[in-house]
Structure 1
């Protein structure tokens, strides 16, 4: 008979950790915990990505390699909850090819892996310290993502970047720095979220607000930039289902790095565009939307509610006829796929020895805060 602290001669925590590590690689699972129930059976409890993955148990974000918790939660809410990159009619089809320009620590790669596991992602992040976290998250989650430690631009070059360790999503080329706008962004985001955001976020918003007291300390580093066309030629993709761009004021440069011969390969574009009054980006939305229209896309634009008034706009472009692509749509705004315990169990059985398989898989809305044994 097994004892409460051992299973198959191994410490219980070691067995549980092995199962949990495997479960984190299942598409759509944010976190997993293995417990022993009152009858002594092993039960794998799994928490899906989404609203509950944060509001019910913030520990899920601690399992992602990020720069700090306030920033990681911001990215989670923006990508998983608000689904900012799947608006405007943008979809993910089966076996989609996704280019993630401005990948940061890989939250969008995690999202794509959770919502469209058959997709192949090419992720670009120029800042070495941030890229290391991206690589770590790819490896830990077993994502079908190929990372590149450089950014994209209108030409191949090496430029100076200002990297902000306390808020890495604002890191950018030194010539695109706009400190006043960044400070205003944080103030407006906090104010908007306190006024109309979901409940239970006071501590998170206080953490974000505290960033203002840190004087935006930065580290200057040299980063490599390439053109998207040169990458397409190198990796040999035959099409890009979604080009996602969040390049901190350099978004138009990324578009300029696509040669005319490659534009027909791009089917959808989802991007953040900076259009800041009194700055070099003023008028950029009109410039970007006009350029995409010239390339034959249907273009739309909106302002994300929590970023209203900050000069950030979301631009979406879809190539006419893409709706006739025969591959099924796997992910779109507001659509989720329930995680079925029996499918998780079958998936585990192909990856773990029979003696390590849990007796039962339960899908839950929350995980206990303390470890159980």
Structure 2
């Protein structure tokens, strides 16, 4: 009698599924015994539109709202918004994920650049708990921090919106009219310029603009990025990703002059909303980054046109000569291959507990 015969079948299936979730590029896996007795592992890759259609993987990731999680997945995995403007991920990259939310970008880094080390910052307790679970379940090299980054050490009140957590922010940076307009314009732009087959998703998003947003007030800690750099001993930051709902300039102000040379690339969302305190912010941010020696690019994503959201990318001249291999760049993602997954799995589990076949699927 083999070990596999002695173990309960579901225990074997679960062990294989947990191992497969740690394979770079795998979003979800299910293992079942077929009628013919074979043990088959079905694997769903991250970087396909099929994940968007698979509510199972979205539910596993989400705090509450599947429409929001679908938006995050498509922006990060499909549209690769943080890898535009010449941004790349090299072997053994050090990444600061500022405004990590549920960890979608950290998951993306783990899928595309498995050797990377990620420091993820999320101040809202309920969202932070989901971030920790999402990265831990996939065995990623991610160190989560339960605070945000700013220009000084302080505790501030955040408004956390359970129905749409990506809009949660400091109470003094709330701009509700803009948030509602953002939802309406996003839906309008997505219907005009986005991929087909998304009407149900867009209708769900559109409905958010016509309801009263419930929020939870919570006290959250903020720290200076330079203090964190000193504490973790980061000798280089290959990519500083910032998405913090109107507080992006505060994050930059928390970098000491002595630490700017450590930062090689910056990918950030910048709010520049007419008639608000953020008006002119893109020019302000671009000038600061240029003054620190970066080559700067500003882009507008079509689905966010006229919403006051801009993507700013900054790369330090000379970074292209870094000897480490470029692992991830926009458009260079390698598809997950069943054979490679099976070979990798054979290095993780005893032979008697391996599936008979690994199959790639578009949904589970």
Per the normalisation by structure 2, the TM-score is 0.96
What is the rounded CA distance, in whole Å, between the counterparts of 2:293 and 2:353 in structure 1? 54
Residue 158 of structure 1: CA displacement?
Answer: 0.9
Equivalent of 1:105 in 91, 97, 102:
102
Tell me the secondary structure at the aligned position of residue 31 of structure 1.
strand
| Equivalent residues of 2:52, 2:73 under 8 A apart | no
In the alignment, is residue 360 of structure 1 matched against residue 354 of structure 2?
no
Q: Residues 213 and 56 from structure 1, CA distance in 2 versus in 1: closer, same or farther, beyond 3 angstroms?
A: closer
Match of 1:245 in 2: 242
Comparing 19-28 and 40-49, the one that deviates more:
40-49
What is the rounded CA distance, in whole Å, between the counterparts of 1:26 and 1:54 in structure 2? 16
Equivalent residues, number: 364
Tell me the secondary structure at the aligned position of residue 34 of structure 1.
strand
Tell me the secondary structure at the aligned position of residue 262 of structure 1.
helix
Comparing 49-58 and 218-227, the one that deviates more:
49-58
What is the rounded CA distance, in whole Å, between the counterparts of 1:103 and 1:313 in structure 2? 18
| Equivalent residues of 2:151, 2:224 under 8 A apart | yes
Comparing 99-108 and 195-204, the one that deviates more:
195-204
Equivalent of 1:96 in 86, 93, 96:
93
- Counting only pairs closer than 5 Å after superposition, residues 136-175 of structure 1 correspond to structure 2 as 136-175=133-172
| Equivalent residues of 2:96, 2:237 under 8 A apart | yes
Per the normalisation by structure 1, the TM-score is 0.94
What is the rounded CA distance, in whole Å, between the counterparts of 2:49 and 2:34 in structure 1? 23
Match of 1:277 in 2: 274
What is the rounded CA distance, in whole Å, between the counterparts of 2:171 and 2:35 in structure 1? 59
| Equivalent residues of 2:51, 2:363 under 8 A apart | no
In the alignment, is residue 129 of structure 1 matched against residue 126 of structure 2?
yes
Residue 21 of structure 1: CA displacement?
Answer: 1.5
What is the rounded CA distance, in whole Å, between the counterparts of 2:125 and 2:312 in structure 1? 28
What is the rounded CA distance, in whole Å, between the counterparts of 2:105 and 2:329 in structure 1? 14
In the alignment, is residue 64 of structure 1 matched against residue 53 of structure 2?
no
What is the rounded CA distance, in whole Å, between the counterparts of 1:29 and 1:155 in structure 2? 38
Match of 2:39 in 1: 42
Tell me the secondary structure at the aligned position of residue 343 of structure 2.
helix
In the alignment, is residue 219 of structure 1 matched against residue 193 of structure 2?
no
- Counting only pairs closer than 5 Å after superposition, residues 340-359 of structure 1 correspond to structure 2 as 340-359=337-356
Gaps of 5+ in 1: 369-373
Residue 196 of structure 1: CA displacement?
Answer: 1.9
What is the rounded CA distance, in whole Å, between the counterparts of 1:321 and 1:20 in structure 2? 42
Match of 1:337 in 2: 334
Note the aligned Cα RMSD (angstroms): 1.7
Match of 1:177 in 2: 174
| Equivalent residues of 1:100, 1:245 under 8 A apart | yes
What is the rounded CA distance, in whole Å, between the counterparts of 1:14 and 1:128 in structure 2? 32
Query: Which digits, 9 at most, give the CA deviation of each residue in 1:305-325, with x for residues without a partner?
Result: 111110000000000000000
Gaps of 5+ in 2: none
| Equivalent residues of 1:102, 1:125 under 8 A apart | yes
In the alignment, is residue 119 of structure 1 matched against residue 116 of structure 2?
yes
What is the rounded CA distance, in whole Å, between the counterparts of 2:363 and 2:15 in structure 1? 18
Q: Residues 208 and 64 from structure 1, CA distance in 2 versus in 1: closer, same or farther, beyond 3 angstroms?
A: same
| Equivalent residues of 1:45, 1:367 under 8 A apart | no
In the alignment, is residue 53 of structure 1 matched against residue 50 of structure 2?
yes
What is the rounded CA distance, in whole Å, between the counterparts of 2:152 and 2:231 in structure 1? 15
Tell me the secondary structure at the aligned position of residue 222 of structure 1.
strand
Residue 39 of structure 1: CA displacement?
Answer: 3.5
| Equivalent residues of 2:268, 2:311 under 8 A apart | yes
| Equivalent residues of 2:63, 2:162 under 8 A apart | no
